[in-house]
């Protein structure tokens, strides 16, 4: 599915828009507010933030919604069907639980929660109250990510050997979670979406360079299918990289979210020819065409919010499902545990006899 199919579903009109409250008006909340304001399927009733200055900034651009510093006002409001939560990850459990128990549908920004236990608590609360709980995994709505997924699912890349991902820049250090929980959910949700499986093993190295929170992490993942993946996550890098290389037996793909050619398909590879004598092997290298497919220009966040509203109205499951949210939390948790254990694999020192 490239961006066009996605676009038509965002355009679909509802009889009654879903009445929303946006909670958290820091860095990301205003993006959700902008998108919700433009989306025909949504109507913003409330914006909530504990910081009055954040609300003042909202009021200057969007005079219509009511503003409050009290989350209780939001969940008590009868004209609010659904709550969109864009607050720091450590607050997700408390806020989501209160909203779910008040019978509100919830879209919560990634990660769903900051522990597997908290995520399970939220899933159980949503099941009990019969409302929709959706994690905000925005990249599942990216046209580029969907182009690559289509290639993988159609078998065009062949046997998937490995995936290598870099998500680094001089980013905002989060106070409450490590870089695994902040940047990791993007790559982990993409991997799960592309491969339709969760890793059997995760190992990670990290370092807390600036504060006592890990700000760089190298995560290795092994999948039951045999595919291996590596994600380099960091808030400390001079230039922004959002680059993924997918290597298959037939073709290779570079997906670069910062490029104006975000997906490039390389008809390249190497084949091992049948040996004619024992001990002999011959490799045949292939470097064919490089194709840059057209990728629709559609804002993933708009599609994510449209999916949330349509799923509420239709009673259907959103693409960014609760199963995805839970699996991503399990992947972040495993990476963090491995990094804290400090010995994810048996580290080997350099051979001391060979010093220069």
> Which residue number has the CB closest to ligand NAD?
26
Judged by CB under 6 A, which stretch of 33-41, 46-54, 258-266, 342-350 contacts ligand NAD? 46-54
Residue from 1, 14, 26, 330 in contact with ligand NAD (CB under 6 A) = 26
Judged by CB under 6 A, which stretch of 88-96, 147-155, 261-269, 324-332 contacts ligand NAD? 88-96
CB 19 → ligand NAD: shortest distance, Å? 18
CB 30 → ligand NAD: shortest distance, Å? 8
Q: Does the footprint of ligand NAD cover residue 333 (CB under 6 A)? A: no
Residue from 15, 27, 343, 354 in contact with ligand NAD (CB under 6 A) = 27
CB 172 → ligand NAD: shortest distance, Å? 7
- Closest to 178 in 3D by CA, of 140, 150, 149, 216: 216
29-38 vs 300-314: helix axis angle to the nearest 10? 60
The CA distance from 50 to 142, in Å, is 31
Residue from 51, 128, 294, 317 in contact with ligand NAD (CB under 6 A) = 51
The CA distance from 271 to 286, in Å, is 8
Q: Which is nearer to ligand NAD, 232 or 304 (CB)?
A: 304
Residue 292 CA to its chain's centroid (Å): 24
Residue from 18, 42, 86, 152 in contact with ligand NAD (CB under 6 A) = 86
SS3 call for 160: strand
Residues 330-333: contacts with CB under 8 Å, at least 24 apart: 330/116, 330/198, 331/184, 331/188, 331/192, 331/198, 331/199, 331/202, 331/221, 332/111, 332/180, 332/181, 332/184, 332/185, 332/188, 333/115, 333/116
Residue from 49, 187, 299, 333 in contact with ligand NAD (CB under 6 A) = 49
Q: Does the footprint of ligand NAD cover residue 71 (CB under 6 A)? A: yes
Q: Does the footprint of ligand NAD cover residue 25 (CB under 6 A)? A: yes
Q: Does the footprint of ligand NAD cover residue 321 (CB under 6 A)? A: no
The CA distance from 169 to 241, in Å, is 6
Q: Say if strands 263-273 and 252-256 run parallel, antiparallel, or are unpaired.
A: antiparallel
Q: Does the footprint of ligand NAD cover residue 91 (CB under 6 A)? A: yes
CB 229 → ligand NAD: shortest distance, Å? 20
The CA distance from 4 to 20, in Å, is 26
Judged by CB under 6 A, which stretch of 27-35, 113-121, 192-200, 205-213 contacts ligand NAD? 27-35
The CA distance from 251 to 293, in Å, is 14
Residue 205 forms beta bridges with which residues? 218
Q: Which is nearer to ligand NAD, 71 or 255 (CB)?
A: 71
Q: Does a cis peptide bond (omega within 30 degrees of 0) precede residue 111?
A: yes
CB 334 → ligand NAD: shortest distance, Å? 18
Do residues 19 and 82 lie in contact, with contact meaning Cβ atoms separated by under 8 Å? yes
Q: Does the footprint of ligand NAD cover residue 138 (CB under 6 A)? A: yes
Q: Which is nearer to ligand NAD, 89 or 143 (CB)?
A: 89
Q: Does the footprint of ligand NAD cover residue 58 (CB under 6 A)? A: no
Residue from 28, 161, 162, 218 in contact with ligand NAD (CB under 6 A) = 28
Q: What is the DSSP letter of 354?
A: G
Q: Does the footprint of ligand NAD cover residue 171 (CB under 6 A)? A: no
Which residues are CB-neighbours of 237 under 8 A, at least 6 positions away?
168, 169, 170
Q: Which two tokens stand for residue 177?
A: 């979670």
Residue from 54, 67, 113, 252 in contact with ligand NAD (CB under 6 A) = 54
Q: Does the footprint of ligand NAD cover residue 135 (CB under 6 A)? A: no
- Binding to ligand NAD (CB under 6 A) within 92-111 occurs at 95, 109-110
Do residues 44 and 33 lie in contact, with contact meaning Cβ atoms separated by under 8 Å? yes
Interaction site with ligand NAD (CB under 6 A) = 23-29, 48-51, 54, 71, 86-89, 91, 95, 109-110, 136, 138, 182
């Amino acid at each position: 599915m490239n961006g066009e199919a996605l676009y038509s579903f965002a355009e679909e009109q509802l009889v009654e828009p879903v009445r929303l409250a946006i909670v958290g008006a820091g860095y990301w909340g205003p993006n959700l507010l902008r998108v919700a304001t433009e989306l025909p399927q949504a109507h913003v009733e409330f914006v909530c933030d504990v910081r009055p200055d954040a609300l003042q900034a909202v009021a200057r651009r969007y005079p219509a919604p009511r503003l409050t510093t009290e989350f209780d006002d939001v969940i008590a409001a009868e004209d609010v069907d659904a709550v969109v939560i864009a607050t720091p990850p450590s607050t997700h459990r408390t806020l989501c639980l209160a909203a779910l128990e008040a019978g509100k549908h919830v879209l919560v920004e990634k990660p769903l929660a900051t522990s597997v236990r908290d995520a399970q608590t939220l899933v159980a609360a949503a099941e009990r109250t019969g409302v929709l709980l959706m994690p905000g995994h925005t990249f599942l709505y990216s046209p580029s990510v969907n182009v690559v997924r289509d290639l993988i699912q159609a078998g065009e890349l062949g046997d998937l050997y490995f995936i290598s991902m870099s998500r680094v820049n001089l980013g905002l250090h989060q106070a409450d979670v490590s870089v695994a929980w902040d940047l990791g959910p993007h790559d982990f949700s993409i991997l799960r979406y592309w491969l339709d499986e969760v890793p059997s093993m995760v190992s990670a190295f990290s370092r807390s360079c600036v504060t006592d929170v890990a700000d760089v992490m190298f995560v290795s993942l092994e999948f039951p299918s045999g595919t291996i993946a590596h994600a380099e996550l960091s808030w400390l890098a001079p230039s922004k990289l959002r680059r993924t290389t997918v290597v298959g037996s037939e073709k290779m793909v570079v997906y670069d979210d910062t490029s104006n050619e975000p997906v490039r398909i390389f008809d390249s590879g190497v084949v091992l020819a049948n040996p004619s004598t024992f001990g002999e092997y011959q490799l045949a290298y292939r470097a064919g065409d490089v194709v840059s497919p057209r990728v629709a220009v559609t804002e993933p966040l708009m599609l994510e919010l449209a999916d949330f509203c349509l799923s509420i109205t239709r009673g259907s499951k959103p693409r960014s499902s609760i199963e995805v949210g839970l699996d991503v939390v399990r992947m972040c948790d495993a990476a963090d545990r491995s990094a804290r254990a400090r010995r994810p694999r048996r580290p080997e020192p350099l051979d001391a006899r060979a010093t220069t």
